[in-house]
Amino acid sequence: MPEAGRIILYVAAVLVAAGGFYDMFAPRLPANLAAMCGESESARRLARELLRALGGALAAIGISAAVLVARMESHPDRWTLVLLLLLVGLAELINAGCMFRVGSPFYIPLIFVLLTIVGVVLCWPRHGVLSR
């Protein structure tokens, strides 16, 4: 497997996990979410806890993706690469869509998806029956 592809996939996985940890341990609600909640303390608490839950899921996805990359052989099979695309792609595309709707910087998760796509393309098997 080209080493550049593996490095890019590692970077994407670490960034997804780091973003998840940021959401889990953010000391306060981001300003745009706090503004949406207004003065309602129960709405703020709900938004904060949902952000933590999202963060936990994204951290788990990032860690899982990093483990998959670490366990790939020098010529990974396409199903491992498809699984990486599904894990990161689905989670971060949904995250980006939701972030867009609440006025958060949605382009950040899109960058994670783009990195994953580039890494998978660089690692995709170029020979054999399964790559046709």
Domain ranges of the chain: 3-19+54-131
CA nearest 84: which of 126, 122, 131?
122
pLDDT at 3: 84
Per residue in 24-54, pLDDT tens?
999 889 999 999 999 999 999 999 999 999 9
CA nearest 30: which of 17, 13, 48?
48
Q: With contact defined as beta carbons under 8 Å apart, do 123 and 81 qualify?
A: yes
**Please, what is the average pLDDT of the chain?**
91
Per residue in 73-131, pLDDT tens?
777 889 999 999 999 999 999 999 999 999 999 999 999 999 999 999 999 987 654 44
